[in-house]
Structure 1
Amino acid sequence: MEVVNHNSEKPHVLIMPSTGMGHLIPIMEFAKLLLCHRDISITLVTVSGQFPASALAKFSDHPSIDSITLPPVDTSDYPPTTMIETIMSVVIKRSLEPLRKVLSEIRPITAFVADLFSTDTLDVAKELALPTYVFFPSTATVLSFMLYLRTLHERIPGEYRDLKEPVQAPGCPPFKGTELIDPLQNRQDDAYRWFLHHSCRYREATGIMVNSFDELETRAIKSLLGGRDYNGDIPPVYPIGPLVKKASSDAGESREECLRWLDGQPRGSVLFVSFGSGGTMTEGQLAELALGLEKSGQRFLWVVRKPQSFAAGAYFGTGAGEDNSPARFLPEGFVERTAEVGLVVPEWAPQVKVLSHEAVGGFLSHCGWNSSLESVVYGVPMIGWPLYAEQRMNARMLADEIGISVSVDYEKGLVPRGEVERVVRLLMESEVGKKLRKRVGELKEAASQALAEEGSSSRRLALLADQWANTKPSARLDRS
């Protein structure tokens, strides 16, 4: 664990994400944009074994970004069935002592940024009187819901999933109890207690940055900026999104097979099917999805991952080194029968490059927020098929509030091939799909304007950068 010394004349921001590429990627983009506004040095603090070395290497390539790795954390005392939110929180909790050593040895530090599951690090930062910020990589809607969770916890005694009426929080659409984020489905589970713990600690931050923009989540952001109806004050909130990878991020690499295949497809004709870096399905569900795609007759590019018994089966690992040929897991003859219209690839595809390709006309997605923002930025309408975490809430919002998605009927369990065929045709062939395509095109332009020099997100990010560069660390910021 090497501690880096920094130029005392240069503002220095420490950032500590919790586990998961879905947390690391937006923080990487936040750091890079921050450096575009001011001459600031940044140090990323991670725990050994929580991220691929290749991803961290890309982050630290920038001359103004350093990386410190804390010692690995043993979580073997938790069973394999433990929810990922608990494991992420425990990893951070058990890393506080080495973090304390790092913070005490690095000087100067202008601000400390923790992500949504790293809030226990605020104690260490406050010991050194550092301004502390929370980076929230998900939606403004989920942030608003979490800030209201303490009130819900006090007012509703039973399980949210058993409620007959929808749950209403400031700035949010009404959500069914069964649609709420996974840790809220069982109040007896440690994950619920951790989630409530983190949501309460957000109020201790100097400010909260959220990966969204005004035109995308108008109602939630208006509520957060107003700061009302949360049973007490909340910190200033800064919508600074959309923070997504750029299509040119990996320029210079050889062109992947799937991109060469897309080059030969008609414009807007291909449905991209991918469930993120952690999402998995059972073997039976994979078969139904395959046969539904086949019945739809639509062109598709499908990222296929080894089936697992639970939806987040790949969150802490990718199965590297295993035989993950898609033909092993798909119905017999499927690959051969669909060879003229489809391509299946194992494990991974360059998602941003795929979504930005002119041949892609739709995205069947798990509704993870990074993927959803990428759909917006590159103007691709969606089919929502949520798997875990906050994805059910995202799917409802993308369909009903934002209007860029249709949803698979997933609530009854196994989604049959006929339902897959229905939603694929709805998106790719119908007037409904045309309306979604028009709407997402409007939001694509709004996203670009938000990040333009005088755009709302760009101005807020510049405000943070200027504040860290020019004023005393204890100063609070105007969020307008």
Structure 2
Amino acid sequence: MSGSSNNLHIAILSSPGVGHLIPVLLLANRLAAQHNIKTTILAVTTGGASSESSLLKLPNEEGLVETVELPLGDISHLMNPSIQVVTRLCMMLREALPLVRSAIASMGRKPDALIVDLFGTEALPIALEYDLPKYVYVPSTAWFTALTIYCPVLDGEVKGQYVDERDYLKIPGCKPVRPVDVVDPMLNRHDQQYVEYLRQGKEFTLFDGILLNSWEELESKTLEAFRENEALRSVMTAPLYPIGPLTRPIEQEVLENGLMDWLDKQPNQSVLLVSLGSGGVLSQEQMTELAWGLELSQQRFIWVVRTPTSGRVDDAFFTRDEGSEEFPGYLPSGFLTRTRNTGVLVPLWGQQVKILSHRSMGGFLTHCGWNSTLESIVSGLPMIAWPLYAEQRMNAALLTEEIGVALRPEELPTRKVVGREEIEKLVRTLIQGEDGQVMRDKVKRLKISAANALSEISGSSHKSMCQILSDIRNKRAQMID
């Protein structure tokens, strides 16, 4: 642990939702464990998610991480079912700004810097009011960040909807983006969330730097473009700091004994984890095809099952197998009986990090949320990319086309039901095929690269964090002088 910054105090603002709170907690714990930094997490919460509260109560590194919950009051009058996710989050952060200002004002020791997540950029005036160095934490890729920052330029260049474009969307020095892979706010330029996304892209450029949950070796081309490409630098002059990969520690999760016993009995690299995240709910038709594909592949699997979104239960779906009460009507008739020796179904949530790290795991069918993607990489597992929303389509393209550690269906799962034959082929290829082994070798090299990036001796991500802390220290020294 480096102690040169041991008297710094940093405030980190987190937007609502487990997927946003986890990266902030990981950042705070990294600052404490590797740099002895005191952090105060300002966590905006809606009061409806017990998982948020449980995360806030987890033990923190060195006792240096304090969490201050900022519960929003009743804002139901501002919301209606037609409001999209990004708009909702931005509205929530906007409503929380007085709470953020009050929390900082009441601190006995004022923070030396403010870090906000990507939905908290409107807290910029608060940082200016207290004369704080200010950073945006993007718990995603440099490529996603490049699109966000460059989108205001594309807004003036592209007429009509992005998804209707025939050519790829070009970002200077970076991998171009397929129109169908754009982030959710860019799917409809007439929706308010597109306006919010444009605003975020512009506000990113007003901060002193951007922290990324990525690392040099993973995205060297894009990071080089931010440093060297004149067209991109004309839009974003502040530096990017890749500080990742920050992932959940294995020791915080404990597997149920039955699942651990089952995993221990399986051959090395033979099991596929199927988990599509907290928001990964499939249609009933797609769930049926996924079940058949897993069964036909004859590969071992753990499937985190969630209730399908719509559709009726009819005779095509199973009558209750013995022990199947947790999954009534969601799966093909007899599925549990036929896959009894090869598969395990987990209701709602599994201890993902612990499962992925087990020696029997051979791959991960994932929605490509960046938290899950990094957990797969640091576990040395190749993936089947099944993107559903947000920036997951871009993540899938990065993993399959540039990094080469994932397979994906021919058509996006959000545009077409993926059939059982294609799923069977993807699973067999990943677990048993030569292409799967090639990807497994690649991702194991990335696993080593990820560990090296975090090394306190010469790691690139560690150096990035040290540079940020040095800048904050210098700014504080100037204020004292």
Fold equivalence (TM over 0.5)? yes
Report the residue type matching 1:413 in the other structure.
K
CA distance in 2 between partners of 1:428 and 1:61 (Å): 37
- Identify which of structures 1 and 2 has the higher relative contact order when contacts are C-alpha pairs closer than 8 Å and 6+ apart: 1
Which amino acid counterpart does residue 447 of structure 1 have in structure 2? A
Deviation (angstroms), 1:62 = 5.1
Aligned residue identity for 1:132:
K
Pick closer, same or farther for the CA change 1:37–1:475 going to 2, 3 Å. farther
Distance 2:112 2:455 in 1: 26
Q: Hey, what's the Cα distance between the residues in 2 that align with 1:374 and 1:27?
A: 16
Displacement after TM superposition at 1:387 (Å): 0.6
Match of 2:424 in 1: 421
For 2:363 and 2:293, the matched residues in 1 are separated by 16
1:35 aligned partner? 32
Cα deviation code 1:232-264 (max 9, x no counterpart): 3431110000010122233xx464432221111
What is the TM-score normalised by the length of structure 2? 0.90
Per mean C-alpha deviation after superposition, the further-off stretch among 336-345 and 102-111 is: 102-111
Q: CA deviation at 1:25?
A: 1.6
SS, match of residue 170 in structure 1 = coil
Q: Would you say the 8 A contact 2:21–2:43 is kept in 1?
A: no
CA contact (8 A) 1:46 1:70 kept: yes
Give the deviation of 1:177 after TM superposition. 1.0
1:15 — aligned with what? 12
Q: 1:432 aligns with which of 412, 421, 435?
A: 435
Query: Shift in Å at residue 150 of structure 1?
Result: 1.0
Match of 2:326 in 1: 325
Cα deviations across residues 439-467 of structure 1 (Å, max 9, x unaligned)?
A: 11111111111111211001111222344
Identify the range of structure 1 (289-298 vs 257-266) with the bigger mean alpha-carbon deviation. 257-266
- The residue number in structure 2 matching 1:115 is 117
Q: Which of 124, 127, 138 is the equivalent residue of 2:126?
A: 124
Establish whether residue 243 from structure 1 lines up as the match of residue 246 from structure 2.
Answer: yes
Instruction: State how far apart, in whole Å, the 2-side matches of 1:219 and 1:59 are.
Output: 37
Q: Distance in 2 between matches of 1:247 and 1:75?
A: 37
Kept in 1, the 8 Å contact 2:216–2:223? The answer is yes
Letter in structure 2 aligned against 1:29: L
What does residue 338 of structure 2 align with? 337
Residues in 1 aligned to 2:186 and 2:68: alpha-carbon distance in whole angstroms: 33
Distance 1:334-1:55 versus aligned 2 partners, 3 A rule: same
Q: Summarize the alignment of residues 7-156 of structure 1 with structure 2, pairs less than 5 Å apart.
A: 10-48=7-45, 49=47, 52-58=52-58, 63-76=63-76, 77-106=78-107, 107-156=109-158
Q: Number of residue pairs matched?
A: 453
Partner of 1:307: 308
Quick one: distance in 1 between partners of 2:183 and 2:92? 21
Letter in 1 for 2:79: Y
Aligned counterparts, 1:202-351, within 5 A: 202-226=204-228, 228-230=230-232, 231-250=234-253, 253=254, 255-308=256-309, 325-351=326-352
Distance, in Å, in 2 between the alignment partners of 1:226 and 1:184 is 27
How far did 1:269 drift? 0.6
Deviation at 1:129, TM superposition (A): 1.2
Checking the alignment, whether the CA contact within 8 Å between 1:246 and 1:352 is kept in structure 2 is: yes
Separation (CA, whole Å) in 2 of partners of 1:234 and 1:19: 29
Cα distance in 2 for residues equivalent to 1:324 and 1:109: 52
Q: 1:75 to 1:281 in 2, by over 3 A?
A: farther
Q: Deviations over 1:4-57 (max 9, x none)?
A: xxxxx9321111111222222222111111113333211111123266211111
Mapped partners of 1:150, 1:209: distance in 2: 21
Whole-angstrom CA distance in 2 between matches of 1:71 and 1:465: 30
Matched residues in 1 for 2:60 and 2:244: separation? Answer: 22
Q: Please tell me the residue identity of whatever aligns with 2:445.
A: E
Unmatched tracts of structure 1, length 5 or more: 1-8, 311-322
CA pair 254-281 structure 1, distance change in 2 beyond 3 A: closer
2:469 is equivalent to residue 472 of structure 1: no
Query: Is the deviation greater in 152-161 or in 38-47?
Result: 38-47
Give the superposition deviation at 1:104: 2.0
CA contact (8 A) 2:118 2:136 kept: yes
How far off is 1:60 after superposition?
5.2
Q: Retained in 1: the 8 A contact 2:32–2:61?
A: no
Measure, in 1, the Cα distance between the counterparts of 2:62 and 2:328: 40
Gaps of 5+ in 2: 1-5, 312-323
Contact 1:136/1:209 (CA < 8 Å) preserved in 2? yes
Measure the CA separation in 1 of the matches of 2:340 and 2:82. 38
Letter in 1 for 2:230: R
Take 1:455 and 1:377, find their aligned partners in 2: how far apart are those partners? 15
Pair 256,28 (structure 1): closer, same or farther in 2 beyond 3 Å: farther
Q: CA deviation at 1:392?
A: 0.6
What are the superposed Cα offsets for residues 52-78 of structure 1, whole Å, 9 maximum, x if unpaired? Answer: 211111165752111112232434232
Cα distance in structure 1, aligned partners of 2:115 and 2:459? 23
Query: In the aligned structure 2, how far is the partner of 1:101 from the partner of 1:151?
Result: 36
**What amino acid does structure 1 have at the position aligned with 2:294?**
L
1:191 equivalent to 2:188? Answer no
1:315 alignment partner in structure 2: none
- Assess if the C-alpha contact under 8 Å between 2:283 and 2:308 holds in 1: yes
Instruction: Find the counterpart in structure 1 of residue 463 from structure 2.
Output: 459
Aligned position for 1:402: 403
- Which SS does the other structure have where 2:42 is aligned? strand
- Secondary structure of the equivalent of 1:248? helix
Note the 1:172-187 alignment, pairs <5 A. Answer: 172-187=174-189
Q: Aligned partners of 2:325 and 2:242: how far apart in 1?
A: 39
Alpha-carbon contact 1:270-1:361 (below 8 Å) kept = yes
